[in-house]
Amino acid sequence: MIYNKLLAVLSLVLLMIFVQYPPSFADSGYLSAEEKKIYLSTLDFDTVRKEADEYFVKAYEASTQEAQEKNFVYAMQKYYILTLLQPGDYYGYVQMARIHDIRKEDSLARMDFAFAYNLDKLNPYTNFYYGEFFTKRARYQKALKYYLTAYNNGYGENYVTIMKLAWLYEKLGDLKKSKEMRGKRSMQVFEAMAEKGSCRADCRVKQ
Distance CA 74, CA 68 (A): 10
pLDDT of residue 17: 44
pLDDT of residue 164: 94
DSSP H helices in 103-156: 106-119, 124-136, 140-152
pLDDT of residue 186: 59
Residues 6+ apart with CB under 8 A from 116: 90, 91, 93, 94, 97, 123, 126
Residues 6+ apart with CB under 8 A from 21: 77
**φ, ψ at 43 (rounded to 5°):** -100, 150
Distance CA 146, CA 155 (A): 11
Residue 22 one-letter amino acid: P
Distance CA 7, CA 176 (A): 69
Tens place of pLDDT for every residue, the chain, 207 residues? 444 444 333 443 444 444 444 444 444 445 677 777 777 877 889 999 999 999 999 998 999 999 999 999 999 999 999 999 999 999 999 999 999 999 999 999 999 999 999 999 999 999 999 999 999 999 999 999 999 999 999 999 898 999 999 999 999 999 999 989 888 765 565 455 444 443 333 333 332
- Residue 139 is given by DSSP the state -
pLDDT of residue 10: 41
Distance CA 196, CA 206 (A): 17
Three-state DSSP class for 32?
coil
Q: 123's torsion region: left (phi>0), alpha (psi -120 to 50) or beta?
A: beta
pLDDT of residue 89: 95
pLDDT of residue 45: 92
